[in-house]
Structure 1
Amino acid sequence: MFDKKNGSIIFSGRAQTFTYWYNNSHKGRTFIAIMKDVEECHDLDRCLIGVKHQLGEPDEILTHKDMTFYIYNNGISIK
């Protein structure tokens, strides 16, 4: 889920995810998948910028079709 105002990720538990995905205990290679979505990310550029502002510059950026993957080599941590 993304904040509609600033594009940052809303880290909260959802039925489709595990709670531990939202903590900083995993320090391995981790990715965030971002795509324009009617329900979650209405403005793709806002979401891309918001995630970078929130989590820092990714170590690698990959794209596949309409999806962007921000890859962090040492896990993610909220700034």
Structure 2
Amino acid sequence: MQTDVSDLDQLQSAYKAAVEDWIAAIREEEELASVNHSIAEIDKWEAAHFKEDEVRDRVLELKKQYEDALRKEQFGF
């Protein structure tokens, strides 16, 4: 059974958007790593790391969905 190209387009778009969100989360974490060394700033930095980790997990899940759909389209499994 073939996957509809529009389904692949949606999966690809969702993956690419998630990657952009991940890049933004990485930049936010990096920016917070460059501030003064107060406890409040360290807490913000740590929170940014947790956010980056969550976004990364979403990227990996969307990548898997897209790759699975491509395999189904290209190889039938």
Greater relative CO (CA pairs within 8 A, separation 6+): 2
The alignment's TM-score, normalised by the length of structure 2, stands at 0.25
Q: Which protein has the bigger helix share?
A: 2
TM-score by length of 1: 0.25
